[in-house]
Structure 1
Amino acid sequence: MDRPIQYATLILICLFTLTACFGPTGKVRLKTDIDNAELFIDGEAKSPIGKDLIELELSAENHRFEIKALSENGEWRYYGSEDILIPEDVIIEKKINTKSVATEKRKKRLALEKKLNEANRLAEKVKDEFKYRQAAERGL
C-alpha cells in the first residue's frame, strides 16, 4: 500500500516540476542605442544586440535586461539596464538606452596628452625667452 502512494507522490512532484519548467511564456523584441553590444538577462549572457530588433521568448515573469559594450578603441564603456515584466502570450517591444563612462585607458591617454601639451608650452616659453635674450645681447 505504501508503494503506490510513493509512486503517486513522485509522479505529482514530477508533473509540478515539468509545469514550472514549461510554464507560460511571452516574447520581447529588444534593441539598444549602440551596435556591437552584449545582452544579459537576469545576469546571464544571452546574445549580441544592437540597433536592430531581436526577438526572444522568455518565461512570463519579471526579468532584468542589461546591455554592456566597450567601444572599438577601448576608451568608453557602455551600460544600460531595465527590469521588464514579460506578459503571457504577448509580444512587447523595448529599446534600452545606454550611458557611457570613460575607461582607464581614456583617462590615461588624456592625462598623457595634457602633460605633452604642458611640455610643449614650456618648450615654446623657453624658446621665446632664448630668442629674447639673443636679441637683447645683440642690441647691447
Structure 2
Amino acid sequence: MPDPSPPSVGCFVMPAWWTKPTFNLSEVAQFLGTPISTVSFWLTLARAAGMEVGDQSGNRTRYSCHDVFALALLAKLRIRHVRINAMTVFSAFVFAGKPDPRPVAHNGEWVVYSEDGVNLTVPAWLCWTAVRAWATKVHGTAHA
C-alpha cells in the first residue's frame, strides 16, 4: 500500500472551482459523517462570528469546497470527541482562509489549543485532499 503522506515541500494548487457554491447542507453532512444539526450549528457559529459562509442566492444555500474544507477540519476534531466552541469554529474558517482561500501546504497542519492549554493537531492536508477528491467524484470531470 502506498504511503498516504504528501510531499513535504510546496502547496496544493487551488482549483478555479474551489470557491464555487456547489453542495447543499445534506451533501456536506453526509460527506463529513456528521449530523446535519451539528453542521448547521457550526455554520451558525461561523456566521455569528462574521464569516460569510455559503451562498444563499437561490432558495437553498449552497456551500463551496472552501466552506467544506473548514468544516472538515472541525469534523476531524469531532471524531476525536473534542468539544467544539465558537472560537474553534472561527479558527477553522480563518485557517481555511476565509474569506479568501489560501494554498494549503502539502504537509499542512491546523493546531488548535483547548481552553486548558492542550493542543491538538489536525492534518489539514488530509482534509483538503479528501474534499477535493469528493468534489471531483460527486461532480465528475468538470472539477478535475
Q: TM-score, normalised by structure 1?
A: 0.26
Bigger share in strand: 1
Determine which structure has the larger helix proportion and give its number: 2
Taking structure 2 as the reference length, the TM-score comes to 0.25
